[in-house]
Amino acid sequence: MAAPIGTDLSAAFLTAPVPPSNWLVILPVVHCIVLGALMLMLRAHVRLHALIAVLGLAALVLVDAVLLKRVIDDGPVTMVMGRWLPPFGIAFTVDLFGALMALAAAIAALVSSLYALTDIDAGGRRFGFFPFLMLLMAGVSGVFLTGDIFNLYVWFEVLLISSFGLLILGSEREQIDGAMKYAVLNLIGTTLFLIAVGYLYAIFGTLNMADIALKAAGLRDTAPLMTLAALFLFAFAMKAAAFPVNFWLPASYHTPRIVVSALFAGLLTKVGIYALIRVVVMLLPVEREALSLMIALVGAATVLMGALGALAQTDIRRMLGYVVISGIGNMLAGIAIGTPGGVSGSVFYALHSVMLMMALYLLAGQAARLGGSFQLSALGGLYRECGWFAAVSLILFLAACGLPPFSGFWPKVILVKAALDIGAWWLAAALLAGGFLTTICFGRVFLLAYWRPAPAPVEAVAIGWQSALPLLALTALVTGFGIAPEPLLSLVQAAAGSLADPGAYIHSVFPEGAAQ
Amino acid sequence: MEPLFAILVGLFFSAAIYLLLSKFSIRIMLGIAILGNAVNLLLFTAGRLTREVPPIIPAGLDALPAGAANPLPQALILTAIVISFSFLAFLLVLTYRAYQDIGTDNTDEMRVAEPDDPPLPPVGY
């Protein structure tokens, strides 16, 4: 890497200033950090926090939408930091996959900030719910937009420490107990990730993802890339809560405020899946191929274990924790299949899951407000209590089971077809069985909590617009993408295509095969 | 020097994993502290070990002399140290709070979030 003395180093420097439109790539991260800092400065005026957060996240949705539009029009966009060109400098590179995930995350955060208007009381705001939310979004956006693998680790840590803050917002005994398990196991997961980054640097001598993708082919015969891929797989599977390493999730996701649970379920596990797809599908495709049987077994086990675990629960929030795990299994199956069809199924499922898991947790919170409890044994009569709420619930339940005409149906069809195309009939069967068990599970919820007469009379609570609007917005998205999936489907297929052939990504980082 | 460091990293990892497998949360914290240091040493070793030439560009040159230490792992470790230190501080406070609130540091008995005998789901109505 050290250039001989007297070499022309201008190839390593950015000589022309960064075009203003490229600042769009880092704007989501900068925006979130600045607003988070601003709110910390205004910590004496917690009433302002909610306003800043809602407006700020609405702006974030807008920025991510413009970014997505830009990526659709021009292909991947790169911005480099501090005048150093890659692979020396740090690059933010966004392709279609990253832009889609960033937009979905921003929508989810906006929705949760609306719901938080009623769910987070003055105490929670004083402990900094909204600043933590903005910093969490900075971390999540950073993960989706960065083009450097050590940077990916740093953004993981940013979102992790904000999630710790959100998790123990009420300082209740349950929350502290849940946070212990969440914190220790997630910290071990990111440490494993850091180990993998260390080995990656030892092997490649670079941390830039495009550079790694370029060099992987040449090093394959001599370097222990298989070990590396397995280590990344283990670390990200732990973050995403895949089967043998998933038990921290149901232990902790039901303890915080419901809107925090919703955020975590919508975003955090999907961040693990994003990183897994980015590393094993784009950077190490040959190793993914070799590991595909194991990933498929893990995915099938995760789908079935999640669905069976959900069936066994009586607390709705804990049940949803297992439903999150079951969804992760579906995405892993797509990664295991690895054909463009399988990967596009995974990406579609991830986007759908961000919206859906968020909506289901908010729904559970609302059901508990109406029925007075999270326990299935105590809930009842919700259908009579509020008709439109029961209808919304039914739509979201059907989407979660993967039944048409809602958004869960399409990724499931794509995944099952992709599995059958490569002859993995048992994987397709596991996915379908998982969907069947989830249907039973949600059927039971609907039967017990909605149709059954209330076991004890509860006083009627009106649903405010702050809770109704997020639920209706998410339901509209879930229904819309179920009925008219073609635009999203073509985007997702393009994203999967560019992951399988990262030529455009590499070209965006190294426009003319720059300094090596 | 690399083999020596490799053995040291291995020792650190084994000690960390032994402590992480303990039932008591304070030992788990010690395990996490050692794990963080093991990873830092690993990163350091991964980036080539030299002791003679510091990564400083002499006056009049525009690149590092041959055989210089690699500055990048040091930057990476610096980041990793800051992050793991802040996490450890948070976890220590969390452990203490958990000990205060739950009254035990035995993880087998920390079952507030997941009670041993949760109510059974209703079978019918």
Fold of B1-54+65-109: Helix Hairpins (1.10.287)
- pLDDT confidence of residue A515: 44
In this prediction, what percent of chain A has a pLDDT beyond 90? 56
- pLDDT confidence of residue A371: 85
Q: Could you tell me if A159 and A139 are in contact, meaning their C-beta atoms sit under 8 angstroms apart?
A: yes
- Most A CBs within 10 A among B43, B57, B92, hence the mutation to make, goes to B43
CB A157 to CB B87 under 8 A? Answer: yes
Rounded to whole angstroms, the Cα distance separating A116 from A189 reads 29
| Chain B 30-59, residues with CB within 8 Å of chain A CB atoms | 32, 35-36, 39, 42-43, 45-47
Strands, E assignment, A277-397: none
Angle at A175 between CA A359 and CA A363, to 5 degrees: 15
Two tokens at A89?
């400098």
CB A194 to CB B43 under 8 A? Answer: yes
Per-residue confidence band for B34, with pLDDT thresholds at 50, 70 and 90: very high
Report the range of poorest mean pLDDT among A4-8, A368-372, B44-48.
A4-8
Spatial CA neighbour of A92 closest among A104, A81, A105: A81
Spatial CA neighbour of A306 closest among A318, A315, A295, A314: A318
**B23 contact A CB<8A:** no
Q: Which residue has the tokens 């222990």?
A: A224
Per-residue confidence band for B92, with pLDDT thresholds at 50, 70 and 90: very high
pLDDT tens digits along A132-158: 999 999 999 999 999 899 999 999 999
Complex-level ipTM? 0.91
Per-residue confidence band for A516, with pLDDT thresholds at 50, 70 and 90: very low
Q: What is the DSSP string of A289-324?
A: HHHHHHHHHHHHHHHHHHHHHHHH-SBHHHHHHHHH
Q: Residue A57: is its pLDDT beyond 90?
A: yes
Task: State the first-to-last Cα distance of chain B, in angstroms, to the nearest integer.
Answer: 72
CB A177 to CB B113 under 8 A? Answer: yes
Rounded to whole angstroms, the Cα distance separating A500 from A402 reads 26
Q: Could you tell me if A263 and A295 are in contact, meaning their C-beta atoms sit under 8 angstroms apart?
A: no
Q: Residue A1: is its pLDDT beyond 50?
A: no
pLDDT tens digits along A268-280: 999 999 999 999 9
Provide mean pLDDT across the span A67-73. Answer: 92
Q: Residue B58: is its pLDDT beyond 60?
A: yes
CB B43 to CB A201 under 8 A? Answer: yes
pLDDT tens digits along A385-401: 888 999 999 999 999 99
CB A173 to CB B101 under 8 A? Answer: yes
Q: At what angle do helices A285-312 and A316-337 cross, to 10 degrees?
A: 160
Spatial CA neighbour of A319 closest among A281, A357, A349, A266: A357
Is the peptide bond between A87 and the residue preceding it cis, with omega within 30 degrees of 0?
yes
Give B27's contacts in chain A (Cβ within 8 Å). none
pTM: 0.93
